[in-house]
Amino acid sequence: MRLDKLLSNLKYATRKEVRKLAREGIITVNDKVIKDPSIHIDPINDEIKIGHETVLYHETLTLMMNKRKGTVCAHNDDLHPTVFEDLDIKYQRFDLHIAGRLDKDTEGLIIMSTDGKLVHDIISPKKDVYKTYEVFTKDVVENIDDLKRPMEILDGNNQPYTPFEPIIVSQDNQRSVIKIKEGKFHQVKRMFAHIGHEVIALKRLAIGELTLDESLSPAAHKVLNDDDLKKIFQ
């Protein structure tokens, strides 16, 4: 791949700016100063630097984040911080999409990826990727099995929607753990509201068999490898 194309694709600089940086002698490939940015490089094996900054390249990049409460799953928001603002600057250059958004007051596992097919497959109910939520309700839930009865809630367009039957993982006083395979707007809150319970705290613990890395503090994130990705679809 051409060096100038790589750097402009990764939003380090425009091609024109890359030419200028190269003329100034601050772009190196494997420690050799490169004055002609039209050269071809191997983005995986060559070490490319602009000044002291090493250029980070991933053919596809997929991250796990422990979303913190208070952030919105959107690229831009006038009122609230976004999950993208919590990303390390080196990842902000990538065209990342969220595989299943969480509400502002929900925390826990989100997956962000440059791989559109992966994002689609995680979201699509047809792929049977269950999402596990830890739910705290205002009151003790004594009728958890009511969640398994067919119900009608509203989706994000305020249209009636009947969720697939959830899996009840556990229930203890005000704490329930359930799995659902879709991600309609406010779905967990609306399902609990339907059975008469107000959700006061919500955390996503897992997507498929990929569980939130609890060593990630709120807003922290890490790159997922192929073994992690396999767990999603197990």
**Least separation in angstroms between CB 101 and ligand URA:** 7
Q: Considering beta carbons, is residue 18 or 188 the nearer one to ligand URA?
A: 188
Selecting among 46, 77, 103, 213, the annotated active-site residue is 103
Both tokens of residue 83? 């999950």
Question: By C-beta, is 37 or 166 nearer to ligand URA?
Answer: 166
The answer to whether residues 187 and 210 touch, using CB atoms and an 8 Å cutoff, is no
Phi-psi region at 63: left, alpha or beta (left = phi > 0; alpha = psi -120 to 50): beta
Q: 43 vs 208, which CB is nearer to ligand URA?
A: 208
Active site residue 128: no
- Residue 17 CB, nearest approach to ligand URA (Å): 40
Query: Residue 109 in contact with residue 101, Cβ under 8 Å?
Result: no
Residue nearer to ligand URA on the CB measure, 5 or 69: 69
Binding site for ligand URA (CB under 6 A): 102-103, 106, 186-189, 202
Contact 108, 204 (CB under 8 A): yes
> For the chain, how many residues are written?
234
With beta carbons less than 8 A apart as the criterion, state whether 188 and 178 touch.
yes
Q: Residue 128 CB, nearest distance to ligand URA (Å)?
A: 17
| Distance between CA atoms of residues 56 and 64, nearest Å | 17
Show which residues are catalytic. 103
